[in-house]
Amino acid sequence: MVRLSAMVTKKLSLITATTIVAASMIGVGVFTTSGFALAALGTPGRVLVAWGVGSFIAMCGAISYAALAAKFTESGGEYLFLARAIHPAAGLTAGVVSMLAGFTGPIAAAAIGLEAYASPMLGSPLLGSRMPALPVGCIAVTAILIAAVLHAVKVSAATRMQDAIVGFKLILILGFIGWGFFALSDASTNREIAAETIPFSIPNFASQLVWISFSFAGFNAAIYVAGEVRDPARNVPRALIGGTALVSVIYLLLNTIFVYSAPIEVITAGENISQVAATAAVSIGGTTLENLVRVLIVTALATSISAMVMTGPRVYAKMADDGLMPSFFSSGNRSPVVAIGFQAAMAIVVVLISRLQDLLSYLGLTLSLCSALAIASLFVLRFRGQISRLPGWGIPPAVFIFASVSLGIIAAWNQPIPAIAAVATLTIGGILFWLQRSSGEAERLG
- Is-contact 113 303, C-beta < 8 A? no
- Is-contact 193 264, C-beta < 8 A? yes
Q: What pTM, to 2 d.p., does this model score?
A: 0.76
- Is-contact 221 311, C-beta < 8 A? yes
Alpha carbon distance 214, 237 (integer Å): 21
Residue 157 pLDDT: 59
Residue 446 pLDDT: 44
- Is-contact 370 217, C-beta < 8 A? no
Residue (of 348, 319, 258, 349) closest to 30 by Cα position? 258
Cα distance between the two ends of the chain? 18
Alpha carbon distance 293, 280 (integer Å): 9
Residue 238 pLDDT: 93
CA distances from 290 to 117, 169, 185, 187, 254 (A): 10, 16, 19, 21, 15
CA distances from 36 to 132, 275, 439 (A): 30, 10, 47
Alpha carbon distance 143, 443 (integer Å): 40
Residues of the chain with pLDDT under 70: 1-11, 123-133, 154-163, 186-197, 274, 331-334, 354-361, 363-364, 418, 429-430, 432-446
Alpha-helical (H) ranges within 200-275 are: 202-215, 232-260, 264-267
Q: DSSP 3-state assignment of 186?
A: coil
Which amino acid type is present at position 161?
Answer: M
Q: DSSP 3-state assignment of 229?
A: strand
CA distances from 65 to 51, 218, 374 (A): 21, 12, 8
- Is-contact 104 350, C-beta < 8 A? yes
- Is-contact 108 350, C-beta < 8 A? yes
Q: DSSP 3-state assignment of 72?
A: coil
Which amino acid type is present at position 383?
Answer: F
Alpha carbon distance 243, 166 (integer Å): 12
Q: Which residues of 256-286 are buried (b: 16+ CB within 10 A; e: fewer)?
A: bbbbbbbebebbbeeebbbbbbbbbbbbbbe
- Is-contact 173 27, C-beta < 8 A? no
- Is-contact 291 121, C-beta < 8 A? yes
Local structure of residue 12 (DSSP, 8 states): B
Question: What would the pLDDT profile of 257-287 be if each residue is shown by its tens digit?
Answer: 888 887 787 887 777 776 788 888 888 878 8
CA 253 to chain centre: 19
- Is-contact 82 93, C-beta < 8 A? yes
229 forms bridges with which residues in the sheet? Answer: 12
Residue 393 pLDDT: 92
Residue 131 pLDDT: 52
CATH superfamily of 14-438: Amino acid/polyamine transporter I (1.20.1740.10)
Helix or strand holding residue 74 (H, E): none
- CA-CA-CA-CA torsion for 110, 115, 121, 127, nearest 10 degrees? 80
